[in-house]
Amino acid sequence: MTGETDDSASRNISRRGVFKKVGAVGVAAIAGTPLAPAASSATAQERATPERATTATPQREALETLTAAEADILEAIVARLIPFDENGPGAAEARAAYYIDRALTGPLRSSRESYAANLAATDVYAGSTKGAGFAQLAAADQDAVLSEMEKNVATGFSPNAAAFFNLVRAHTIQGTFCDPYYGGNANFVGWDLVGYPGIRMAVGEDEQRLKAPQPVRKSAYDDAMFTMKGGNARGGDHGHRP
Amino acid sequence: MAIDLKKTDVVIVGLGAVGGAAALPLARAGLNVVGIEAGSWLSPRDFAPDELRNNFRGWPQSAQKANGEIPTHRPNASAPYSPRLPIHPMMNAVGGTSLHYWAQSWRLNPWDFKVASETTRRYGVSRIPKGSTVEDWPFGLEELEPYYDKVEYEVGISGQAGNVGGVIDQRGNIFEGQRKRGYPMPPLRGTEFTEQMAAAARRLGWHPFPGPAAVNSEAYDDRAGCQYHGFCNRGGCHVSAKNSTAVSTIPKALATKRLEVVTQAIATSVMVDEKSGRVTGVVYVKAGREYFQPADVVLLASYTYENVRLLLLSKSRPFPNGLSNNGGQVGRHYMSHFHLGNPVSALFPHNLNNWYGLPAQGVAVDNWADDNFDHSGVDFIGGGNLWVYSDRRPIAAASMSTYGKAPLRGSRWKSFIKENADRYNVAYLQKTTLPYEDNYLDLDPVVKDPMGFPVIRITADYKDNEKQMGAFIQDKMAQWFMEAGAIAVEKGPIGTQLPSTHAYGGTRMGDNRETNVVNRFGLSHEVPNLGILGASVMGTSGAHNPTLTAQALAWRTAEHLTANWKTIANQ
């Protein structure tokens, strides 16, 4: 497993934040967001290859649900829940916040109000206890705020701090370990972290011994069978008898 | 006004695990059958290996009827309501939840049919828990055996028999009741981990065996064998190796030209002739229009909650409190199976490679189930099936317990899951659940579905018998994991009787019409041409998954109907 994760750290991993692919204006607007969490490994940082904004095709990434200020706070939270460190990329590199922003306008829409109220509450609580907005705090202070939320001693949250902590944690895990189709688990960093050997459409007996097979890295939707093109690609839905 | 349709012989409400099974013997006997299904057809192309979609998002590509009807729950009539589940345990489609169920396909133990009399005989009547309304079934396992057999072969079940014709086979379940013949397919293969667990069970003197599954272990009925790819848990099969009724009995019934499938149709009421008190057909809504499907016989085949709800919603002059409810028994004797409460998980010092496989690929121990051991020295009746299986996906793995060894965030957590994500296993412990006088279903007085009809309200909780049994079974499971080399075990709380994939009762089957809704053939005591299919007719849960038993009962009701058609249809 160690070897697998070392491989993953050497992949083309963006060390830029989730919302930092929106071009110069977007970057400028969130310039206060910490780029390098304190626990980051120097080695991993050296390996990381920042993406350039000079490619021919512009990357168009709107914030679909969150305000820019909410996105800054959420980005900072996920980066501390699952940090970049000696074990490789974390939730920011997986683009967990990007996943959450999109899901909040769809399957997670029932949580939208909670994010609005509680991301604001996180900032207020950070300001009153640590003297700055959450995203502007040093990593150690951010961790202290999260700890107080987890223990449900932080105030100002709805219905309470622990409930929001658990909600964000669950969604951050989804965004870090989901199929990359959904916008998280970028570059498969989550699957590398837990040593998931990957999606295989058929698994042989030898692949169910204690030693897992070599990882394969693809999305479920790299298989045309499961996409809008699938009918043509596979000649129809075999096995279906309406 | 409802649009009147042409009369049919039989109308089935719901084409899932039981309706889809019953349709086949009816159609083969030459009866014209209309199946009303809220969902639509899904195909292997809908069954992507996608953990978010399958396990977290309630099947967004399916009809969302069930997710608008999630039952409410309170532990008892004076307790606050539990938080409502975000998604319904069941889903709607042709094939119903059999598309994505775990497909464990067990027969009940002989004791499950005779809990009241056998407990009294062996331990005395005082050992029947106080407040329990448990009765013997109106027949024993031997009556249901031929129907189990038919379903096993028509649907396609993999497994290792343990008792064929009274000859015990140590490779199978030595505690199972006598069967006429073995399974049509050999069991699903084991993994290195499940083989290690089996060896540990043998060292303890127990009798491990592979469980039965409605999953092809080899090609069967022109469909492929299982590919073990790891997305069977709440996932449909991309090669149709899982034997949902959508790929097994329903296509066979369609081939007779006697079955008409009406999809995206939501049944809203069963109609009654006020003079005779007989049912005349079913009203359903499709694409905003209301239709009336007349029929000589109506079979309710939706899930337990929906069977009960449709009865309670179908009020008429002869049945002012709901159809077939003049005796006040509809909704009574309800049980959420005690299968998720009191879980046990274990942490091992090495990877298990549980990433592939399926919940039905595993190893079972029945030494502590049912009445397979002497209960003289314990303070409960019944017991649990211990089941260890191979099933893991990344989001669930990263959400694992840290066994008190790491925090839930930050670098220490990350380091912990990096090392341990493939080193834990959660056992599945299905335990005997009994009916009690104060555990029941009714209509929620406040919460309604999107069409404006009340949803089901569950009032039910576990009692002392379940609590004491739960602790006992947890100890046995912990012992098994430790014998296999676990370095830590974690025992979870009992929980309460929330909406469940295993829901029993509400239209219980029995000879006594004072305490049961349907007779021994699954037909209403009060309405001679109304049949009810599904686990809602079961009076005890047993310690095993309900689907095969519900399918065998449905098949039996269907054959009874065809053998006595003129009488039941009043022709």
Query: Does residue B100 register a pLDDT over 50?
Result: yes
**pLDDT band for position A230 (cuts 50, 70, 90):** confident
The pLDDT assigned to B570 comes to 87
- Count up the domains in chain B and report the number: 1
Measured CA to CA, the distance from residue A9 to residue A48 in angstroms comes to 8
Contact A239, B46 (CB under 8 A): no
How much is the average pLDDT of B341-360?
Answer: 98
Q: What is the pLDDT of residue A197?
A: 98
Burial of B410 (0-12, 13-18, 19+ CB in 10 A): buried
Q: In this predicted model, what pLDDT tens digit does every residue of B44-67 receive, in sequence order?
A: 999 999 999 999 998 888 888 999
> Percent of chain B, pLDDT > 70?
100
pLDDT digits (tens, 9 = 90+) for A160-171: 999 999 999 999
Q: Over 70: is that where the pLDDT of A91 sits? A: yes
**The two structure tokens encoding residue B365:** 């121990």
B416 touches chain A (CB under 8 A): no
pLDDT-based confidence at A33, cuts 50/70/90? very low
Task: Place B251 in a pLDDT band, splitting at 50, 70 and 90.
Answer: very high
- Point out the residue among B45, B192, B413 whose CB comes nearest to the CB of A237: B45
Residues 486-545 of B with CB under 8 A from A: none
Please judge whether B394 and A81 are an interchain contact, meaning their C-beta atoms are less than 8 angstroms apart: no
CB pair distance less than 8 Å for A143 and B410: yes
**Cross-chain Cβ contact A196/B238 below 8 Å:** no
Shortest CA distance to A212 belongs to which of A224, A200, A228? A200
Q: Where do the structural domains in chain A lie, given as residue ranges? A: 2-196
**Which letter does DSSP use for residue A85 in this model?**
B
The answer to whether the CB of B192 falls within 8 A of the CB of B182 is no
User: Residue A30's pLDDT is what?
Assistant: 35
Q: Rounded CA gap, A193 and A187, in Å?
A: 11
Q: Which of B135, B106, B103, B104 is nearest to B119 (CA)?
A: B135
Question: What per-residue confidence (pLDDT) applies to B116?
Answer: 98
A-chain residues near B57 (CB < 8 A): 107
Q: Is pLDDT at A208 greater than 90 in this prediction?
A: yes
Instruction: Using pLDDT thresholds of 50, 70 and 90, give the confidence band for residue B103.
Output: very high
Mark yes or no for CB contact B410/A83 under 8 Å: yes
Q: Give the model's pLDDT for residue A76.
A: 98
**pLDDT exceeds cutoff 80 at A240:** no
pLDDT score for A58: 74
- Judged by CB atoms closer than 8 Å, whether chains meet at A194 and B397 is answered as yes
Average pLDDT over residues A97-124: 97
With bands split at pLDDT 50, 70 and 90, how would you rate the model's confidence at A11? very low
Which positions ≥6 away from B118 have C-beta within 8 Å? Answer: B111, B371
Six-digit token string for B178: 């006598």
Which residue, B554, B21, B13, is CA-closest to B251? Answer: B21
Rg (CA), chain B: 23
DSSP structure string for B64-100: -TGGG-PPEEESSTTSPPPPPPSS-SS-BSTTGGGGT
Q: Which of A241, A212, A101 is CA-nearest to residue B261?
A: A241
Answering whether pTM is above 0.80, one says yes
Helix or strand or coil: residue B35? strand
CB contact under 8 A, B350 and A202: no
Closest CA to B360 of B214, B220, B186: B214
Does position A38 have pLDDT exceeding 80, yes or no? no
Whether residues B351 and A225 touch (CB distance < 8 A) is answered with no
* Distance, CA of B282 to CA of B300 (rounded, Å): 10
Of A9-23, B13-27, B88-102, B476-490, which gets the smallest average pLDDT? A9-23
**pLDDT of amino acid B57:** 92
Is residue B395 within 8 angstroms of chain A, CB to CB?
Answer: yes
State how far the Cα of B454 lies from the Cα of B77, in Å rounded to an integer: 18
- Contact of B273 with chain A, judged by CB distance below 8 Å, is answered with no
B105: CATH: 3.50.50.60
Say if residues A15 and A45 touch (Cβ distance below 8 Å). Answer: yes
pLDDT band at residue A55 using 50, 70 and 90 as cut-offs: low
CA B192 – CA A212 distance, rounded (Å): 11
Give residue A12's pLDDT. Answer: 36
Residue type, position A37, single letter? P
pLDDT, mean of residues A99-127: 97
> Which conformational region is residue A185 in: left (phi greater than 0), alpha (psi within -120 to 50 degrees), or beta?
left
In the structure encoding, which two tokens stand for residue B254, read together?
A: 């369609």
Among B residues 62-121, those touching chain A with beta carbons less than 8 Å apart: 86
- When pLDDT is cut at 50, 70 and 90, the band that residue A231 belongs to is low
Q: For residues B8 and B10, give the distance between their C-alpha atoms in angstroms, rounded to a whole number.
A: 6
For residue A56, what pLDDT band results from cuts at 50, 70 and 90?
Answer: low
- Closest-CA distance, B511 to chain A, in angstroms, reads 39
Higher pLDDT, residue A33 or A170: A170
Q: Residue B477: its pLDDT value, please?
A: 98
Integer angstrom CA distances of residue A119 from A28, A32, A158, B560: 21, 17, 10, 62
pLDDT tens by residue, B292-312: 999 999 999 999 999 999 999
Query: Which B residues 246-265 touch A at CB under 8 Å?
Result: 247, 251, 254
Extract the tokens encoding B196: 């290690």
Alpha-helical regions (H) of B204-303: 249-255
Partner residue opposite B398 with nearest CB, options A173, A200, A231: A173
Q: Which residue segment(s) compose the domain that B206 sits in? A: 3-61+70-568
Contact B419 A181 (CB under 8 A): no
How far apart are the C-alpha atoms of A202 and A197, rounded to whole Å? 13
CB atoms within 10 A of CB B76: 11
* Contact state of B414 with A202 under an 8 Å Cβ cutoff: no
Q: So what's the pLDDT on residue B89?
A: 86
Q: Which tops the pLDDT comparison, B571 or A120? A: A120
Q: What is the mean pLDDT of residues A176-205?
A: 98
pLDDT at A228: 87
Contact B353/A209, CB-based, under 8 Å?
Answer: yes
Report which of B26, B90, B100, B94 is spatially closest to residue B263, judged by C-alpha positions.
B94
Å from A45 to nearest chain B CA? 16
Q: Which of B393, B409, B423 to mutate to test the interface with A (most CBs of A within 10 A)?
A: B409
Calpha distance B475→B479 (Å, rounded): 6
Of the pLDDT bands very low, low, confident and very high (cuts 50, 70, 90), residue A32 is very low
User: Residue B434: is it exposed, middle or buried by C-beta count within 10 angstroms (0-12/13-18/19+)?
Assistant: buried
What mean pLDDT, rounded, does chain B reach? 97
Question: Nearest-CA distance from A131 to chain B in Å?
Answer: 22
Using a CB–CB cutoff of 8 Å, tell me whether B376 touches chain A. no
